[in-house]
Amino acid sequence: MAFVVAEPCINCKYTDCVAVCPVDCFYEGANFLVIHPDECIDCGACEPVCPTKAIFPEDDLPEKWKEYTALNADLSTKWPNINKQKETMPRRRSTRRWRASAPC
């Protein structure tokens, strides 16, 4: 079982989780992060440091965000790996929708 990044990460993209991940399983999109399910070792280090509470064990992912399991699996194979903490995104007034493009 892997951890999953869900909707609360969108347009925030805190990277505290990246800093504590021992296996570098996070991938970065334009407006949120995802976890590669085959690389995650289920250590749980990322979950308590996420300030938006966007990271869940796959089995505990709220029903309203179940689509994020497949999104994490798919997008983690397309987006670049992130293994260092970065500055948080400036808050935007936009809908909470993911974007498939990679960061600029």
Q: Where are the beta strands (DSSP E) in the chain?
A: 3-5, 26-28, 33-35, 55-57
> Given pLDDT bands bounded at 50, 70 and 90, which one contains residue 104?
very low
Please name the residues in contact with 78: beta carbons below 8 A apart, sequence gap of 6 or more.
27, 100, 102
CATH no. of 3-75: 3.30.70.20
The reported pLDDT for the residue numbered 95 is 46
| Predicted confidence (pLDDT) per residue in 12-62, tens digit | 889 999 999 999 999 999 999 999 999 999 999 999 999 999 999 999 999
**DSSP character at residue 81:** B
8 Å CB contact between 28 and 82: yes
pTM: 0.85
- pLDDT tens readout for residues 56-103: 999 999 999 999 999 999 999 999 999 999 887 676 544 445 555 444
